[in-house]
Chain A
Amino acid sequence: MNPTDIQDIVEKSKQTRGGLIGMLQDIQARYSYLPEEALSYISEHTNRSLVDIYGVATFYKSFSLTPRGKHLCSVCLGTACHVRGAPMIAEEFERQLGIKAGQTTKDKEFTLETVNCLGACALGPIVVVDGQYFSNVKTSKVKQILSETREGLDKVEVKTDERIFPVTVSCARCNHSLMDTGYLIDDNPSIRVTVSFERKHGWLRLSSLYGSYSVEAEYEIPLNEVLDFFCPHCHSELSGASECAECGAPMVPMIVRGGGIVQICSRRGCKGHLLNLGGANI
Chain B
Amino acid sequence: MKELTELKLKVLDLLNEDARRSPLLLATLIGVEEEAVKEAIAELEADHVIVKYAAVVNWSKIEEETVTALIEVQITPERGRGFEGIAERIYLYPQVKSVYLMSGAYDLLVEVEGRNLREVANFVSEKLSPIDSVLSTKTNFILKKYKQDGIIFEDREEDNRLMVSP
Same assembly:
no
